[in-house]
Amino acid sequence: MNKILAVVAHPDDETILCGGTLALLARAGAAVHILCATRGEGGELGEPPLCAREDLGRVREQEMRCAVDALGGVSVEFLNYIDPAVGENEELHPYTDDFDELTQRLRDHIQQLCPDAVITHGSNGEYGHAAHVLTHRAVVAAVEHAALYTFSPSFPEHPRPRLANADDHADLILDISTAFEQKVAAAYCHRTQNALFVRRSSKRAGRQLSIPEVLMKVEGLHRVIGLLDDRLVDVLETFRLKVAG
């Protein structure tokens, strides 16, 4: 069986940025494992708040386990870094200054799991999130034998351009509509973040949008090194969208 490891900075990144892809891979027979650097302790509490600040990490861990179940994943582990609170002017911070230690911990985890492929944040941290960029760089430094892909690359029809990594071209653009219900269920698992998911898009649309309305039905992958197993590529190819140009 193929093993896929998705490495993300915060609970919910796995769903919002590559949930459909992970669900399709799981359905294709891959064992999908998730490694999350933090428990999202610095994130939102929900509207209205669903827990106290000091309980948020514990709550978000459970939310993430619910989401990964919905996506068909087999395990969730945490590196136990603490997610710093969002700054007063919405600045987003990395969760550690010790790049070498993070890389070593990732390397140890990857060596133990032996995944065929690793999927992680893009080189621009999607919208420039410092914790996403840090995770990307450390994973790139840590992966030695597995194939390595990044999610949310840029492509002309990207459904959420703000989430696209400008410097990563898409090698694969996937129509994830057959896994969309699983992605929606996973997004609802992240209850503390549900208001956040729709806020920016609702503001832009001038009306309150629902979670299914804001989730991407098309996802992409950028290949950094190596290749997925042929059989998984064949499965993903069946969902490939034709790229214009």
Q: How many residues belong to the site for Zn ion (CB under 5 A)?
A: 3
Cα within 13 Å of Cα(36), Cβ side: 26
Cα(130)–Cα(123) distance, rounded to whole angstroms? 11
Nearer residue to Zn ion within complex by CB, 40 or 228? 40
Out of 4, 5, 6, 10, point to the residue binding Zn ion (CB under 5 A). 10
Nearer residue to Zn ion within complex by CB, 119 or 232? 119
Q: How far is the CB of 129 from Zn ion (least distance, A)?
A: 6
- Helix 56-71 with 13-27: angle, nearest 10 deg: 30
Tokens of 57: 């990490």
CB contact at 8 A, 10 and 131: yes
Q: How far is the CB of 17 from Zn ion (least distance, A)?
A: 8
- Does the protein bind Zn ion through residue 79 (CB under 5 A)? no
Nearer residue to Zn ion within complex by CB, 80 or 208? 80
Least Cα distance to 219 among 179, 178, 185, 174 occurs for 174
Neighbours of 180 (CB within 10 A): 17
Neighbours of 166 (CB within 10 A): 14
Neighbours of 108 (CB within 10 A): 11
Q: How far is the CB of 58 from Zn ion (least distance, A)?
A: 18
Nearer residue to Zn ion within complex by CB, 13 or 168? 13
Nearer residue to Zn ion within complex by CB, 84 or 226? 84
- Does the protein bind Zn ion through residue 9 (CB under 5 A)? yes
Q: Which stretch binds Zn ion (CB under 5 A): 2-10, 29-37, 154-162, 172-180?
A: 2-10
Per DSSP bridges, beta strands 117-120 and 3-8 are: parallel
- Does the protein bind Zn ion through residue 13 (CB under 5 A)? yes
Contacts 24+ apart (CB under 8 A), 199-208: 200/162, 201/160
Q: Which stretch binds Zn ion (CB under 5 A): 11-19, 57-65, 192-200, 211-219?
A: 11-19
Nearer residue to Zn ion within complex by CB, 158 or 190? 190
Q: Applying CB under 5 A, which residues contact Zn ion?
A: 9-10, 13
